[in-house]
Amino acid sequence: MLTDLFTPSLLHTLDIAGVFVFAISGALLAVRKNFDVFGIVVLAEATATGGGLVRDVIIGAVPPAAFTDLAYLITPLTAAVLVFFLHPEVERINRAVGVFDAAGLGLFCVVGTTKAYDHGLALPFAALLGVVTAAGGGVLRDVLANEVPSLLRWDREIYAVPAIVGAGMCALLIQFGALNPVTSALSAATAFVLRLCAMRFGWRAPRAWNRSSTRAERE
pTM: 0.82
What is the reported pLDDT for 32? 85
Q: Residue 112's domain spans which residues?
A: 2-201
Residue 100, in any domain of the structure: yes
Residue 160, in any domain of the structure: yes
Residue 127, in any domain of the structure: yes
What is the reported pLDDT for 216? 47
Residue 209, in any domain of the structure: no
Residue 165, in any domain of the structure: yes
Query: In this structure, how many other beta carbons lie within 10 angstroms of the beta carbon of residue 129?
Result: 25
The Cα–Cα gap between 98 and 56 comes to: 26
- Asked whether the bond before 63 is cis by omega within 30 degrees of 0, the reply is yes
Overall domain count for the chain: 1
* Cβ–Cβ < 8 Å for 52, 138: no
User: What are the residue ranges in the chain where pLDDT is below 50?
Assistant: 214, 216, 218-219
Residue 216, in any domain of the structure: no
